[in-house]
Amino acid sequence: MSPVPITPIRVGHIDDVQELRRSKPMKIPTRFVRDMDERPTLETVALPPPCAVPVVDLSKLMSGKKDMSNAEISQLGAACQEWGFFQVVNHSIDLGLLERMEEVAKDFFMLPLKEKQKYPMAPGTVQGYGQAFVFSEDQKLDWCNMFALGIEPKLIRDPKLWPKSPPEFSELVETYSMEVRKLCQSLLKYIAMSLGLRGDVFEEMFRVAVQAIRMNYYPPCPRPDLVLGLSPHSDGSALTVLQQGKGSSVGLQILKDNKWVPVHPFPNAFVINIGDTIEVLTNGKYKSVEHRAVTHMEKDRLSIVTFYAPSYDVELGPMAEFVDKSNPCRYRRYNHGEYSKHYVTNKLQGKKTLEFAKVQIENSI
Ligand code: OGA
Ligand code: NI
C-alpha cells in the first residue's frame, strides 16, 4: 500500500453496496453484473464442507520440542507448496482482542454513510473507506465496502483517515496490528525454516516491514450468482493474515487445480496466504495463489485482512538457493516499492500483476 500520488482518474458513479441494499434491496446495477466467464456458479457458491485447506498449529511450531516442531514445519512447508494457503490455530493472540476488533469493524461499517465518508478513499488510492482498485468507468465493481489503513512504518499513515468513531477504533487497530505483526514475523521464521533457510532471513531482508490493514464488508446480495464480493487476485504482500468474522457466511474461495475451493472459517483461526513477494523470492516454489470472495443471499460477511510486506526500498528477486539448472530464474530483480505501486494502480485481475516481475524462460514448454 504505497502512498502514491495519482493523477485524477474517471471512475464514474460507484454505488455504496450497503446503501444500495438499504434503498433498493433487489437491485443489482449493471456495473456489478459479471461477464459470463467470471460469474461464480451456484454450485461453487453452495459447496459443502469440509474444505481441505491445511491447518497449522503455531503452538507446536513454538513448542521447543524438536520432533514436534520439525513435524509441524514439514506440514507448514507442504501447505505453502501445495496450497499457498493455510489456517493457523493456537496462535496465542488473545481471542478477546479478535472479537473486539471484529465488533468495532462491524460498528464502523454500520455507521451512517455520511460518517464513513469523512474518511474517503480517493479514486486510485487504497486507504480510507470506499472501493479500491477501480480505475475506469467500464470496470466491473465488487459487491463490497472496504476500509483500509496503512499501519507501519508510521510515515505511510494518513492521520485524517483514522476514524474518531467508534471511539476505541484507533487504539484497537493499533493493538491488534502489533499482535498480528508478531505473528507474521513468527510465521515467516518457520516458513524460512521449512525452505531450509536461516530463520531470520526474511526479517533481515525486509528491514522495517510495511504493514496495512483492510476490512472488507460484504452485504448480502440478492443474486450471488451474478456478482463477486472481491475480484480474483493474488496478494502483493509477502504474507497475508485474514480473520473471518464469526457467524459470517462462507465467502473466501481459492483457485486450486483450476477449481474454486471455499475456505470454511475455522473457529478462532487466521487464514494465512503466501503473497507475491515469497513467490518471487522462492523462484515459484511457494506460490501466491489466486483467490476471490463470493457473496451470500441472506448473510453478510466481514473479513479483517493484514498485509505484511518488505520495506519499499528493498530489492527483490529469486534467492540463489532456488535457482539451478532445472529451476531457471523465473523473475527479474526489482524494487519492492515499484512493485507495490504497480499493484495498487492496476485493477485486481488474477495473477496478472505479477507479470511485472516475470522473465521469459528460453526452451521452456
Ligand atoms: C483481500 C482478500 C478475501 C476476503 O482482502 O486481499 O483476499 O475473504 N480478501 O475478504
Ligand atoms: Ni487477497
For residue range 339-365, list pLDDT tens digits in order. Answer: 999 998 888 989 999 999 999 876 554
Note the pLDDT of residue 1: 52
pLDDT given for residue 45 in this prediction: 46
- Positions of the chain with pLDDT lower than 70, given as ranges: 1-8, 42-51, 362-365
| pLDDT of res. 181 | 98
To test the pocket of ligand 1, the residue of 85, 87, 145, 242 to mutate (highest count of ligand atoms within 8 Å of its CB) is 242
Task: Establish whether residue 305 lines the binding site of ligand 1, counting it when its CB lies within 6 angstroms of any ligand atom.
Answer: yes
pLDDT value of residue 52: 74
Pocket lining: 279 vs ligand 1, CB cutoff 6 Å? no
Go through 349-363 and write b for each residue having 16 or more CB atoms within 10 A of its CB, e for each that does not: eebebbebbeeeeee
Omega into 166 within 30° of 0, i.e. cis?
A: yes
Q: Is 250 in the pocket of ligand 1 (CB under 6 A)?
A: no
What's residue 122's pLDDT? 82
pTM: 0.94
Q: Is the CB of 291 under 6 A from ligand 1?
A: yes
Looking at ligand 1, which residue's alpha carbon is closest to its atom 6? 235
β-partners of residue 270 are 88
Residue-wise pLDDT for 265-301, tens only, equals: 888 999 999 999 999 999 999 999 999 999 999 999 9
Sign of CA pseudo-dihedral 228, 217, 263, 69: positive
131: cell is: 472501493
Q: Is the peptide bond before 153 cis (omega within 30 degrees of 0)?
A: yes
> Candidates 149, 264, 305, 340: which one to mutate for ligand 1, based on the most atoms within 8 Å of Cβ?
305
Q: Are 235 and 276 in contact (CB under 8 A)?
A: yes
Which ligand 1 atom sits closest to the C-alpha of 244? 8
C-alpha cell at 67: 520432533
Report the 3 state secondary structure along the chain. Answer: CCCCCCCCCCCCCCCCHHHHHHHCCCCCCHHHCCCHHHCCCHHHHCCCCCCCCCEEEHHHHCCCCHHHHHHHHHHHHHHHHHCCEEEEECCCCCHHHHHHHHHHHHHHHCCCHHHHCCCECCCCCCCEEECCCCCCCCCCCCCCEEEEEEEECHHHCCHHHCCCCCCCHHHHHHHHHHHHHHHHHHHHHHHHHHCCCCCCHHHHHHCCCEEEEEEEEECCCCCCCCCCCEEEECCCCCEEEEEECCCCCCCEEEEECCEEEECCCCCCCEEEEECHHHHHHCCCCCCCCCEEECCCCCCCEEEEEEEEECCCCCEECCCHHHCECCECCCECCEEHHHHHHHHHCCCCEEEHHHHHCECCCCCCC
CA–centroid distance, 292 to ligand 1, in Å, is 7
